[in-house]
Amino acid sequence: MNSDSIKALVFDVFGTVVDWRGSIIREGESTWRARGVDVDWPAFADAWRGLYQPAMARVRSGNRGFVKLDDLHRENLEQVLTDFGVSGLSDTDKDELNRIWHRLDPWPDTVAGLNRLKSKFIIATLSNGNISLIVNMAKRAKLPWDCVLGSEVSRQYKPHPEAYLNSVAALGLQPQQCLMVAAHNNDLLAAGEQGLNRAFVLRIGEHGEHQGTDTKAEHAFEFVAESFTDLADQLGCA
């Protein structure tokens, strides 16, 4: 498609902008093993993330009022620590470990790509992460967002339609003026149902060596890119 009508790029963050799994494994093995969390860190990261969708589902369904992701992560951490037989961490330690989600590393092309994309478009997050999580992550990793949007502004988790529509409305734009950027087919399908354009970015490795999902664009998305810098090329960014 022609990108002339696009005013803003809105980004999924976990997996698309940052390598959540690799970052958790690295900090776990370098820091938390010595502090008492002596576990199989790849398995621990996967188990923690595995509780993410069920926790959000209770909010999306209306069975629970809106709870920010930091708090869902903290509840899920208790569960995972129990399941992995870890005990003895203080509440302060658990709070610090929980904030590992604020300290995720970007993919190698992320910062250079975002800076190029920002030269031509508004770049905003459209993440299930809460505002402070996204802001602290951006400050540490030098992610140059024009605006932090997503679940805490929309008061609803993706893929609920309101997560997309409220974010687009906050930018004062129509859905067709926005391009949703994600490494996940389902996120893009849901964005497309609300009228947003879609860019699939391949992130092989998000789920480790034996990734079984999102290894390719499974639908006819408007853009398919191998990296943010490839997307910047396709969108004509300097």
Q: Using CB under 8 A as the criterion, which residues of the chain lie in contact with a copy of itself when the complex forms?
A: 70, 122, 124, 130-133, 135-136, 138-139, 145-149, 152-153, 170-173
Min dist CB 17 to a copy of itself, Å, is 16
When the beta carbons of 167 and 197 are compared against a copy of itself, the nearer one is: 167
Min dist CB 7 to a copy of itself, Å, is 10
When the beta carbons of 23 and 130 are compared against a copy of itself, the nearer one is: 130
Min dist CB 208 to a copy of itself, Å, is 30
When the beta carbons of 70 and 187 are compared against a copy of itself, the nearer one is: 70
**How many Å separate Cα 39 from the centre of its chain?**
25
The closest of 146, 210, 138, 131 to 178, measured between CA atoms, is 146
When the beta carbons of 138 and 182 are compared against a copy of itself, the nearer one is: 138
Q: Which residues contact 210 (CB under 8 A, 6 or more apart)?
A: none
Q: Name the token pair of 234.
A: 């396709």
Min dist CB 95 to a copy of itself, Å, is 11
Dump the DSSP string for 101-169. Answer: GGSPPBPTTHHHHHHHHHTTSEEEEEESS-HHHHHHHHHHHT---SEEEEHHHHTS-TTSHHHHHHHHH
Phi, psi of 187 (to 5 degrees): -65, -45
Min dist CB 206 to a copy of itself, Å, is 26
When the beta carbons of 129 and 217 are compared against a copy of itself, the nearer one is: 129
